[in-house]
């Protein structure tokens, strides 16, 4: 039986024991050579599972998303290392395939937390970052549905939730940037419109880690033509391309929301135009959702 299939109380015991053992063996554990940093509701789960199936990639031991550089940084590097495979596992993989093994995790909030990029640059100075982007109108609507489904959003009307966003986020980003101990539930879960301003967040990340260490993927392209996108990501990460591809499936995704109010869709589409134009500089072309 897999850990994820256990009852919640038993699962917590298993996770606690694994992390405790992991901390005791922290110095003998790997650190990520790359991270999937976002964006939220952009297909990060699908890409995570595709990359986790690569023969020379060892995934995080307990969770695909560790959330260390955003909400758990106070736990320290030994706690973080506890989530990753032992070096002897990496040695076995390297011995079998003749190339270094890699490990990674996927925490989409890393892209948005004001302190995450600087922390990554400091603690993982050679790690590469993979970012997925999606039609920001659809992304915002999908996030709202997701937060409602998880009972993190009491306002079930998307338009009303957008109207609440400025008040909910007032000065939250400033406080997060100034105080490493501050946590904002609203910033993590209720920033629907703001999350689609991709170029703004990418620029901040680039200031800390360097643009050459960031690879941007359009989710729509990954879902419709995954093989070449997967190959491009592997090339960016230095993963061998001759060891086969995984079966590609769409995970944790919601269909296009045709029931969105047409006027609201037009307003959001217009709002994101300058942000999409800025994103084109990262993609080297007009974003897919702006074509035609």
pLDDT (average), residues 87-93: 96
Judged against a pLDDT cut of 80, whether residue 17 lies above it is answered with no
Q: Which range marks the domain in which residue 103 is found?
A: 27-290
CATH code of the domain in which 268 resides? 3.40.50.300
Residue 241 lies in a domain: yes
pLDDT of amino acid 250: 57
Per-residue pLDDT tens over the stretch 35-61: 999 999 999 999 999 999 999 999 998
Sheet holding 214-218, edge to edge: 57-59, 102-106, 34-38, 128-133, 214-218
pLDDT of amino acid 244: 86
Distance between CA atoms of 109 and 288, rounded to whole angstroms? 23
Residue 19 lies in a domain: no
Total of domains in the chain: 1
pLDDT grade for 2, boundaries at 50, 70 and 90: very low
pLDDT (average), residues 198-202: 98
Per-residue pLDDT tens over the stretch 236-277: 999 998 898 988 865 544 455 568 999 999 999 999 999 999
Helix/strand/coil percentages in the chain, nearest 5: 55, 10, 35
What value does the mean pLDDT of the chain take? 90
β-pairing, 57-59 vs 128-133, is: unpaired
Residue 4 lies in a domain: no
Residue 40 lies in a domain: yes
Residue 97 lies in a domain: yes
pLDDT grade for 25, boundaries at 50, 70 and 90: confident
pLDDT of amino acid 241: 87
Query: Which residues, including other chains, have CB under 8 Å from residue 136's CB and lie 6 or more apart?
Result: 195, 196, 197, 198, 268, 272, 275, 276, 289
pLDDT (average), residues 124-137: 97
3-state secondary structure 161-183: HHHHHHHHHCCHHHHHHHCCCCC
Angle formed by the axes of helices 262-283 and 136-149, nearest 10°: 120
Residue 18 lies in a domain: no
Residue 7 lies in a domain: no
What angle is formed at CA 47 by the lines to CA 102 and CA 105, rounded to 5 degrees?
A: 45
Residue 164 lies in a domain: yes
Sequential DSSP letters for 22-63: HHHTGGGB---SEEEEE-TTSSHHHHHHHHHTSTTEEE-SS-
The secondary element (H helix, E strand) that includes residue 215 is strand 214-218
């Amino acid at each position: 039986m897999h850990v994820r299939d256990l009852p919640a109380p038993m699962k917590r015991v298993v996770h606690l024991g694994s992390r405790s053992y992991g901390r005791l063996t922290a110095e003998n554990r790997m650190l990520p050579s790359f991270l999937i940093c976002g964006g939220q509701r952009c297909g990060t789960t699908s890409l995570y599972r595709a990359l986790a199936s690569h023969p020379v990639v060892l995934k995080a031991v307990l969770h695909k998303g560790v959330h260390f550089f955003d909400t758990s940084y106070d736990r320290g590097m030994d706690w973080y290392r506890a989530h990753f495979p032992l070096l002897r596992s990496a040695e076995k993989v390297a011995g079998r395939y003749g190339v270094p093994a890699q490990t990674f995790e996927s925490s989409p909030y890393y892209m948005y937390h004001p302190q995450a990029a600087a922390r990554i640059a400091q603690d993982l100075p050679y790690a590469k970052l993979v970012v997925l982007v999606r039609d920001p109108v659809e992304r915002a609507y999908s996030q709202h549905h997701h937060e409602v489904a998880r009972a993190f959003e009491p306002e079930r009307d998307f338009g009303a939730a957008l109207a609440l966003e400025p008040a909910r986020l007032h000065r939250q980003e400033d406080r997060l940037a100034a105080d490493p101990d501050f946590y904002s539930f609203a910033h993590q879960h209720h920033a629907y419109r703001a999350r689609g301003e991709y170029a703004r967040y990418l620029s901040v990340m680039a200031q800390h880690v360097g643009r050459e260490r960031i690879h941007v993927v359009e989710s729509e392209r990954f879902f419709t033509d995954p093989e070449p996108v997967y190959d491009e990501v592997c090339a960016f990460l230095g993963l061998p391309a001759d060891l086969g591809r995984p079966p590609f499936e769409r995970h944790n995704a919601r269909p296009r929301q045709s029931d969105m109010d047409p006027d609201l869709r037009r307003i959001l589409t217009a709002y994101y135009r300058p942000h999409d134009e800025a994103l084109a500089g990262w993609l080297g072309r007009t974003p897919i959702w702006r074509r035609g």
